[in-house]
Every structure is written in C-alpha cells, then in structure tokens.
Structure 1
C-alpha cells in the first residue's frame, strides 16, 4: 500500500456549518440531526493542508484548535482538523495537542508511545485534500464519520474517524492497533456529502 501522510486514525502515527449551542445536536429533521448537510465553512491552511473553519468550530485555538459545538457539522470539522493535527503537530507541542483533542483510552496511549519515537516538523508536501464525508454512526455521545480524501495522483480513499463527546467538546477516539482499519479506495463520492476547499 502506498505511503499516506494525511489521515489514518491510530494508524496515522503508527505508519505515520454553522454551529450553534449545545442544543444544536438535536436539530435537523424530526428524526434527528441532519447528517448529510455540509458545514458552512471557510478553509485555511494548516501545515500545508486545507482545513475547514466555521463559527465556533473551533471556538478555541490555544494550545491547538478545539472547542466544537455539539452538532454533526462541527463533528466533521473536528475530525478533519484533528486528523491534520495528528499528522502535523511538531515535536515540542504534540503532548499538549494530544491532551487537548484526544479522548482517553488505550488507542491514545498507543498513539502517544509511537509518536514519542517519531519526529515531525514543517509543512506537508503534496498533501491529500479532504473532499467529503459520510456518517456511519451518530448519537449524543459519539460519532463515526468516514473522511474522503483525494491524493495528488487522483486516488480517492476513505478512512473512519471516531469521535467522543466529552467535557463539552468533540474529541478524537483513537482505535488500538488491533482494532484500527485501513483506508479503502473509492471509485467515486456518490455516497458522500462533498465538502472541499476548491
């Protein structure tokens, strides 16, 4: 499998909307929140990777971006931003990043052990681009979203990203090495909500 430098939940380190108040988690249709609406966002560069931003998504930037409203749209932004932070945060600040955006658990512990053996600095060259998402699970306290990315050679892949709603914020819930799944190649984005910078 070709080397990937952008997204990959726990495997990332091993191998490498308008958002409202807390009640917004129940907005959407009468059956629950709208899981297909793309966030109303602008995009900016983070270490060479385009990431989305929306009102209160994130609400804080110190020590890293965090503080997301309790909506599916902010969960998408938290997932994209979180995966980018995992891939690009430098050696001096990754412990603060991990304690801010990662949910406690064995996946976080394994990631931290692996990250301590790596050195990451600078911008990503020829990065993949986020191009869409699809929720496979969503509730008040957790979410799983497939993030679709396009690589420089035109290949499309999707990787599941798990999140937990803890301490008033969406946090990445990293799987262990034993439970992590590989990214899968996509033929198209037919089953995804397209969400991209360009």
Structure 2
C-alpha cells in the first residue's frame, strides 16, 4: 500500500540517506560515452562553475550555471558540460532532484538523470512506496555549501557534496557521475555496497570549491 509522507521528520530522513534503496538527498562510466572527449589531460578540478544563478526545485535551491543544466523538462535537468565543473553541478543537481521530485515527476527524473541498472531499479521500487506532493520544508531542506572533486576523468567523476541544515548540522554526500548518452548522469551505489554514502561533519575542508546557496 502506498504511504503518504506527511511530516517533516520523514522528509529529513529522506534528504539525508543517498544509498541505493533509500529515498532522499543522500540517496543521495563503466559504460562508454559517445563522442571523442577521451582526453583526460589534467583539467583544473578546482575551477568552479561560471555564471552561477540559483533556482528552487521543490524547496531546495540549486545552481544553474554556464556548465549546465542547459534545459529542464518535467522536473529532469539535462545538458551538462563535459568538464570537472559540469560534472560537479550535475552530481549536485541529480542528487537533489531525484530526492525531492514529487510523485508526478520522479520517474522522468530517474529516466533522464540516473545511470540505468540494478541500483536504479531498487531505488524505484522503494520510491513507489512513498508519496511526495509538496516541497521540502525550509526547516529540513539541505542548503548547498560547496563541493570537492575527489577523482575526475572525462568518463567518470567522484564528487563530495557539502550541505548544511537549519539546525546548523552539516553533512558530506559521496557521489559519482558517469558520462552516459552524451551527458553526466548519477551512478547510484550498488545494492550490496557497504560504503557509506553520507557522513556527518563538524567542519568544512579548507580546499572545497565554494558554491554556497542563498539562505532562505
């Protein structure tokens, strides 16, 4: 039977657990990409995105930059530059959108923003058991602080995403995007993975790329 998410406590848990099979912000390629783009000649992974502006998506402020997304339709954001900054913005965008997408959009978001496979299938099975109709409460919505790319190639990029909540707590989400069908898509952790997808933190690293969302 489908359950309705009706309280903020459930929403917060959904925004803090990115593992495959769990719904939320923390819910949050080995597949060859199309085109040439195989030159991994040491791009600057510390160069942040340009032209940053902020747009809300169901209660969470997301960056829209020169590096993407180029378009949004039915809740799904696509069109990211094949650069470190493009990969990082894609990781942030996909993680949030799949986490807070409402009932009438989440299937389209997953289809356009997540690499297909067992992890995506398991996530979908769990998501269909919930009902999300309204935006995340400002009290529990994550606010982006910045990111750090921990591994980059033109095919696969690992990015740590740093966020803060209204109570002052902070967390880091460990994400991976892959170049799939001419765009960066989120790779969810394998269903059997024991790697922690999110960790609580007390201090921000000094070397993150600052990409701080406006305060509500």
* TM-score interval, smaller chain: 0.7 to 0.9
2:158 maps to 1:147: no
2:72 to 61, 64, 77: 61
Q: Give CA deviations for 1:147-169 in whole Å, capped at 9, x if unaligned.
A: 00011111111010111101110
Q: Any idea what SS the aligned residue of 1:144 has? A: strand
Q: Which residue of 2 aligns with 1:19?
A: none
Q: Which runs of 5+ in 2 are unaligned?
A: 1-9, 25-34
Q: Which residue of 2 aligns with 1:122?
A: 134
Secondary structure of 1:95's match?
helix
Q: In angstroms, what is the RMSD of aligned CA positions?
A: 2.3
Q: Secondary structure at the match of 1:110?
A: helix
By how many angstroms is 1:7 displaced? 5.1
Contact 2:38-2:155 within 8 A present in 1 as well: no
Structure 2 distance, partners of 1:124, 1:112, is: 20
Q: Once structures 1 and 2 are overlaid, which stretch shifts more, 158-167 or 61-70?
A: 61-70
Query: Matches of 2:14 and 2:166 in 1, distance apart?
Result: 11
Q: Displacement, 1:77?
A: 1.2
Q: How many residues of Structure 1 are paired with residues of Structure 2 in the alignment?
A: 188
1:133 alignment partner in structure 2 = 147
TM-score of the superposed pair, with normalisation by structure 2: 0.78
- 1:10 and 1:107 in contact (8 A); partners too: no
Alignment check: 8 A CA contact 1:102 1:172 kept: yes
State the distance in 1 between where 2:155 and 2:92 align. 18
CA drift of 1:24 comes to: 8.4
Structure 1 residue corresponding to 2:208, chosen from 177, 186, 192? 192
- Runs of 4 or more, structure 1, over 4 Å off, are 22-27
Give SS of 2:213's match: coil
Unaligned 5+ residue runs, structure 1?
A: 17-21
* Equivalent in the alignment of 1:38: 48
**How does 1:60-139 map onto structure 2 within 5 Å?**
60-63=71-74, 64-125=76-137, 126=139, 127-139=141-153
Query: Hey, what's the Cα distance between the residues in 2 that align with 1:196 and 1:24?
Result: 30
